[in-house]
Amino acid sequence: MTRPSATELNGRRFLLLLALYFLIHLGVRVFLSSSAELDESEQLLLTQDMRLGYGSQPPLYTWIQAGLFFLCGINVFALAVFKNFLLFLSYFFVYLSARELTRDSTRSVIAMLSLLLIPQIFWESQRDLTHSVLGTAIAAGSLFVMLRLLKTGRLRYYVLFGLCAGFGILAKYNYGIFLIALLLAAGSIRNFRPRVLNRKMGLAVLCLLLVSAPHLYWMVTHTQATLSQVGKFHVASSAGRLALFVLGFKSLGVAVLSFLGLLVPVVVLFFHKRGASVRVVNAHSDDRALILRTLLAGLGLCVLMIVFFKVSVFKDR
């Protein structure tokens, strides 16, 4: 029986410390505040009635929260334990993905801890977000599953990826942007293309539809409720096309800067050594290309939303 290396033990220790970190957050939330924030108050209302849809947000968060209320009672603990578990999963899957890319526990821990430099995850997610937290956790899990799928081509990873995709759509609609960007990025890389364009991916699509079909049917039959908040992405229709473009690109730029404004300077300051470019060290070139192209494809999809759908408001989260 082989003993784990020192770096593997370091990774495990950091994961245990991370779990302790969120347990402390949970304790502080429960013992210092008994009131619910805005999004949490919405869940207290929506979980009173189980439905296939609840308006402009998908239902998965509400379904799971209702189950926790049934098990733990309707209280702040049930709200906080779900959110902190999801945040732990986000960090955990980032760690696993980094391990898959670099095979280095130290760099994987650094990648995981870098999430603490993103205010929307480190602070806003703890403060009041719900659906966005679930969507982020599933997106992080989807990336890890995709990396395993591209590496092994095993059937079980296609099934898992399809399930992740279905649950992601049920968690947050803009998960679809991430999903499309990830598939476009993988399909654009020659060595990965055979993994994406094959019959097994059809099974992934089937799993996606099996998971999301009931809610998608609800969306089609409740269009007005589904689109009730779509106006928050637009300005007045009286504005000219050029004005809409300016507002859209300005909003997108501000959102990107507010998301990366703390992370990028720290990475450049501490990991930019001897003039070398910041990169995923030890990762295969195709893996690096997958991450970079996914980010660029996601940004490109946002640009298309501005150009073709006149979206003029982007939130940093």
Rounded to the nearest angstrom, the gap between the alpha carbon of residue 179 and the centroid of all alpha carbons in its chain is 10
Q: What is the pLDDT of residue 278?
A: 44
Answer whether 90's CB lies under 8 Å from 178's CB: no
Question: Which tokens is 118 given?
Answer: 């993103």
Contact, 161 vs 142, CB < 8 A?
A: yes
Buried b (16+ CB within 10 A) or exposed e, 185-216: bbbbbeebeebbeeebbeebeebbeebbeebb
What's the CA angle centered on 253, arms 252 and 257, to 5 degrees?
A: 120
Average pLDDT over residues 212-235: 78
The SS3 call for residue 75 is coil
Q: Which pTM was predicted?
A: 0.91
Q: What is the pLDDT of residues 46-57, one digit of tens each?
A: 999 999 998 888
Interval 172-198 mean pLDDT: 96
Q: Helices (DSSP H) in 54-104: which residue ranges?
A: 60-72, 76-102
Alpha helix (H) ranges present in 197-280? 199-221, 223-226, 241-260, 263-271
pLDDT score recorded for residue 280: 45
- Angular region, 6: left φ>0, alpha ψ -120 to 50, beta rest: alpha
Contacts of 24 (CB under 8 A, 6+ apart): none
Is the pLDDT higher at 55 or at 173?
173
| Spatial CB neighbours of 279, under 8 Å, sequence gap ≥ 6 | 288
Residue 111 in this model has a pLDDT that exceeds 50: yes
Identity at 208, one-letter amino acid code: L
Phi, psi of 284 (to 5 degrees): -65, 150
Q: Where are the domains of the chain?
A: 6-224, 232-309
Q: Which residue, chain included where needed, has tokens 């809610």?
A: 215
* 92: nearest Cα among 136, 59, 56: 136
Query: Burial code of 111-143, b = ≥16 C-beta within 10 A, e = fewer?
Result: bbebbbbbbbbeeebbeebbbbbbbbbbbbbbb
**pLDDT by residue (tens digit) across 251-275?**
999 999 998 888 888 888 877 654 4
pLDDT for residue 281? 47
Please list, in sequence order, all residues whose beta carbon lies within 8 angstroms of the beta carbon of residue 38, skipping any fewer than 6 positions away.
128
CA distance 89 to 134: 9
